[in-house]
């Protein structure tokens, strides 16, 4: 089975050895979800009417929460699994493309590459999107998630069953990119969310998989404790020196670039293939859609806006910038982490 095939909905994920859907496990997750949902704190949603707070994290009540519960209860990691972890709008699409191209560079040519006809999100399924039974996927499995490190099951973290690649981004750029993206997905019956409202919610931590600073610090601390298991990247560094970061990525993933590959320009070919300019102009990313669930269908073009560093400052007022910088300094105090390059 090709690992880049898109995944179906949650209700078709778990299958027994004879290929039949395991309705018992699905029912168990759904029952647990229905039991806890009414008692969870609620906050205003960006894309949906509201978010719910579960184990300290804000999630969409159906898609993300139910998917997270499934991962916590039933996902079976392998020691060879590679999981890309990101907070939404921090460079997820780009990182997926670069990782897929790096790991599969001997499998596909640059002229007939799957990324030319498939959106990067179709190459690495989201765990919480309830992918179909992953047992049939060849190792190493390339997966992705927005789930905070602290909420992942112990089988993935404490037991160090798989490796993670994480990318962070300046919170000002994340906020603006997230606000613009979510408004495009917001149902027509819900009024658009204003930048001022999105700003307040973001600062309070009420955003998908937020608070943002907690999300980043979880993976940052894990990368310090187990650097061989968690590679921590910065969007700004990737923009500044993509070839350097790609070589670092290949080394971490167990697919280091040989001297011959470097001399032949393979790294630069991967960077070019996965560049914003190239991917955003492909027909598949202009006219096709990505179906994450029966409720969430996203136009591929929405994954490609500008891809620039510092664009958040074009939208935020001086007071907004000052407040976010103050929150960032307070949250990251003593961690050793500084946003940017």
Residue 289 has pLDDT above 80, yes or no: no
- As a whole number of Å, the end-to-end CA separation of the chain is 39
The answer to whether position 340 is within a domain reads no
CB of 10 closer than 8 Å to CB of 73: no
Residues marked as catalytic: 146
Q: Is residue 6 part of a domain?
A: no
Q: Which residues of 251-270 are buried (b: 16+ CB within 10 A; e: fewer)?
A: ebbebebeeebeeeebbebb
Residues 33, 65: contact at Cβ < 8 Å? yes
In the chain, % of residues over pLDDT 70 = 83
| CA dihedral of residues 85, 96, 249, 263 (deg, nearest 10) | 180
Look up the CATH number of the domain holding residue 117: 3.40.50.300
Domain residues for the domain of 160 are: 41-332
Residues whose CB is less than 8 angstroms from the CB of residue 93 and which lie 6 or more positions away in sequence, other chains included: 119, 120, 121, 279, 303, 304
Question: Which pair of tokens denotes residue 152?
Answer: 């992942």
Q: Is residue 199 scored above 50 in pLDDT?
A: yes
Is residue 36 situated within a structural domain? no
For the stretch 236-259, pLDDT in tens is 999 999 999 999 999 999 999 999
Examine residue 292 and state whether it is found in any structural domain, yes or no: yes
Answer positive or negative: Cα dihedral of 86, 56, 59, 317.
negative
| Element at 63 (helix H, strand E) | helix 63-74
Whether the predicted pLDDT of 9 surpasses 60: no
Domains held by the chain: number: 1
Report yes or no on 177 lying in a domain: yes
Distance of alpha carbon 299 from alpha carbon 190, whole angstroms: 19
CA distance 173 to 195: 13
Q: Percentage of residues in the chain with pLDDT exceeding 90?
A: 59
Measure the CA dihedral 133/291/144/103, to 10°: 90
* 14 occurs within a structural domain: no
In terms of pLDDT, which residue wins out, 29 or 24?
29
Phi, psi of 326 (to 5 degrees): -65, -45
Distance CA 263, CA 33 (A): 53
Q: Which two tokens stand for residue 85?
A: 């972890």
Instruction: Establish if 69 belongs to a structural domain.
Output: yes
pLDDT computed for residue 14 by the predictor: 40
Give the CA radius of gyration of the chain: 19
Mean pLDDT of the chain: 85
The HSE-up count of residue 340 (CA atoms within 13 Å, CB side) is 8
Q: How many CB atoms lie within 10 A of CB 71?
A: 21
Q: Is the pLDDT of residue 18 over 80?
A: no
For the ranges 5-14, 71-80, 123-132, 198-207, the maximum mean pLDDT occurs at: 198-207
What is the average pLDDT across 191-201? 95
**268: in domain:** yes
pLDDT band at 2 (very low <50, low <70, confident <90, very high): very low
Residue 7 pLDDT exceeds 70 = no
pLDDT digits (tens, 9 = 90+) for 315-329: 999 999 999 999 999
| Candidate from 39-48, 190-199, 276-285 with smallest mean pLDDT | 276-285
Taking the whole predicted model, whether its pTM rises above 0.75 is answered as yes
């Amino acid at each position: 089975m090709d690992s880049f095939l898109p995944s179906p909905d949650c209700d078709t994920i778990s299958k027994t050895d004879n290929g039949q859907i395991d309705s018992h496990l699905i029912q168990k997750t759904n029952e647990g979800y229905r039991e806890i949902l009414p008692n969870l704190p609620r906050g205003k949603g960006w894309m949906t009417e509201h978010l719910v707070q579960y184990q300290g994290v804000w999630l969409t009540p159906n898609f993300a929460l139910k998917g997270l519960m499934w991962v916590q209860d039933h996902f079976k990691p392998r020691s060879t699994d590679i999981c890309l972890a990101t907070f939404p709008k921090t460079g997820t699409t780009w990182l997926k493309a670069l990782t897929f191209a790096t790991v599969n560079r001997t499998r596909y040519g640059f002229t007939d590459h799957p990324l030319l006809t498939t959106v990067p999100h179709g190459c690495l399924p989201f765990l919480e999107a309830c992918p179909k039974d992953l047992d049939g996927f060849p190792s190493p499995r390339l997966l992705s998630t927005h789930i905070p490190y602290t909420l992942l099951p112990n089988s993935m973290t404490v037991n160090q069953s798989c490796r993670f690649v994480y990318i962070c981004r300046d919170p000002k750029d994340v906020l603006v990119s997230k606000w613009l993206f979510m408004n495009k997905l917001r149902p027509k019956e819900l009024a658009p969310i204003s930048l001022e409202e999105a700003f307040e919610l973001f600062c309070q931590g009420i955003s998908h998989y937020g608070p943002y600073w907690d999300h980043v610090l979880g993976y940052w601390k894990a990368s310090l404790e187990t650097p061989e298991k968690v590679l921590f990247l910065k969007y700004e560094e990737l923009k500044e020196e993509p070839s350097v970061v790609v070589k670092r990525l290949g080394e971490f993933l167990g697919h280091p670039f040989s001297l011959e590959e470097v001399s032949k320009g393979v790294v630069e070919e991967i960077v070019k293939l996965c560049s914003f300019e190239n991917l955003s102009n492909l027909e598949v990313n202009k006219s096709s859609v990505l179906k994450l669930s029966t409720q969430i269908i996203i136009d591929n073009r929405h994954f490609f806006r500008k891809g620039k560093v510092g664009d958040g400052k074009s939208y935020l007022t001086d007071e907004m910038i000052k407040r976010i910088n103050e929150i960032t300094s307070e949250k990251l105090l003593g961690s050793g982490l500084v946003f940017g390059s």
